[in-house]
Chain A
Amino acid sequence: DTGVSQNPRHKITKRGQNVTFRCDPISEHNRLYWYRQTLGQGPEFLTYFQNEAQLEKSRLLSDRFSAERPKGSFSTLEIQRTEQGDSAMYLCASSLALGQGGYGYTFGSGTRLTVV
């Protein structure tokens, strides 16, 4: 297992287009998180899954954002009708549940989105 994998690493899109990012977590991790990080800031929580269930969504996640985790494995984050304000690094992380000894995350390298 090589850790948390995110694709693509970089995405440039025109305003108004839809984009989709993929995250492959560590295989035995049942929790998966999406964060957004803008330049010079710390990551901000967007949403999280336990297995295939999306259990929490931030108010940052507008109606244009949707995330899925079919079968509790990889996850996708889609942004519809992109806006320039969506330009950011999108980070994925995975972890075990507390009862399984988990307390820390493993982060992916992120997908950098630029909306022009």
Chain B
Amino acid sequence: AQTVTQSQPEMSVQEAETVTLSCTYDTSESDYYLFWYKQPPSRQMILVIRQEAYKQQNATENRFSVNFQKAAKSFSLKISDSQLGDAAMYFCAYRRAHTDSSYKLIFGSGTRLLVRP
């Protein structure tokens, strides 16, 4: 069974600085997707960035980028130029890529990001 582990319950960053959130996962499959979701307090979960396992190039979305190390089964999220609005819970998630699968997401336990003004 696949598992996702986020070992940092809480992280803090100064506004405008850079922070990296860690995620490791376990799977025996070679093709899958990885995601980072953001969940602000009392608000819906939104997709921050995704990575296809067959792509070696790390995904980037504006100030958000990932460091995907497939052999190490590591998928960290780097937030550059942190803003107050980045404060939220961040969840790492895994999903199988097979077209006959349910596409269910397996989530880590989350990292709470605090942004200091």
Q: Closest Cβ of chain A: how far from B51's Cβ, in Å?
A: 11
B43:A40 contact, CB within 8 angstroms = no
A43:B105 contact, CB within 8 angstroms = yes
| Residue on B nearest A44 in the bound complex, by CB | B107
Q: Does A99 reach chain B (CB closer than 8 Å)?
A: yes
Once the chains are docked, how many angstroms separate the CA of A104 from the CA of B104?
A: 10
Q: Closest Cβ of chain B: how far from A34's Cβ, in Å?
A: 10
Q: Does B33 reach chain A (CB closer than 8 Å)?
A: yes
Which B residues, 35 to 74, have Cβ-Cβ distances below 8 Å to chain A? Answer: 35, 37, 43-47, 50
Name which of B45, B46, B47, B50 has the most chain A CB atoms within 10 A of its CB: B45
Q: Does B91 reach chain A (CB closer than 8 Å)?
A: yes
B64-90 CB contact bits vs A (8 Å, 1 = yes)?
Answer: 000000000000000000000000000
Residues in chain A within 8 A of chain B (CB atoms): 3-4, 31, 33, 35, 40-45, 48, 55-56, 91, 95, 98-99, 102-105, 107-110
Contact A107-B108, Cβ < 8 Å, known A98-B99, A98-B103: no
| Residue on A nearest B92 in the bound complex, by CB | A42
B47:A104 contact, CB within 8 angstroms = yes
Q: Closest Cβ of chain A: how far from B114's Cβ, in Å?
A: 15
| Residue on A nearest B52 in the bound complex, by CB | A103
Q: Closest Cβ of chain A: how far from B110's Cβ, in Å?
A: 5
Q: Closest Cβ of chain A: how far from B28's Cβ, in Å?
A: 19
Once the chains are docked, how many angstroms separate the CA of A72 from the CA of B92?
A: 29
Residue from the list A35, A102, A109 in contact with B44, Cβ < 8 A? A109
Name which of A4, A43, A48, A98 has the most chain B CB atoms within 10 A of its CB: A43
**New A-B contacts (10) at CB < 8 Å, excluding given A43-B105, A108-B44, A109-B43:** A3-B44, A35-B105, A42-B93, A45-B104, A48-B102, A48-B104, A55-B102, A103-B50, A105-B47, A107-B44
Q: Closest Cβ of chain A: how far from B56's Cβ, in Å?
A: 18
Contact A99-B99, Cβ < 8 Å, known A45-B104, A91-B45: yes
